[in-house]
Amino acid sequence: MQKKPLCALAISLALALPAHAAGMKNLPQVAEAPLRAHLAFLSSDLLEGAAPASAAET
């Protein structure tokens, strides 16, 4: 019954190799500061969320 993991691996490689061969020149850049600001807003009390690395309500 190891056909499913092997099939998943084969599909992953089949999809990843052409992308890798095309080069990594046009990949979007991710800036840390805007991402942190967005996550902080999403976890703020305005949205009743728990802050990152804090204990959530039980």
Whose tokens are 């979007």? That residue is: 28
Pair 50, 56: CB distance under 8 Å? yes
CB of 43 closer than 8 Å to CB of 50: yes
Give the pLDDT score at 17.
Answer: 74
pTM of this prediction?
A: 0.39
Q: Where in the chain are the domains?
A: 6-50
Average pLDDT per run of 10 along the chain, which is 58 residues long?
72 76 70 91 73 61
What local confidence, expressed as pLDDT, does residue 42 receive?
82
pLDDT at 1: 45
Q: Which whole-number Å values give the CA distances from 3 to 9, 16, 19, 49, in the listed order?
A: 10, 20, 25, 41
So what's the pLDDT on residue 51?
62
The candidate with the shortest Cα–Cα distance to 37, out of 58, 18, 56, 52, is: 52
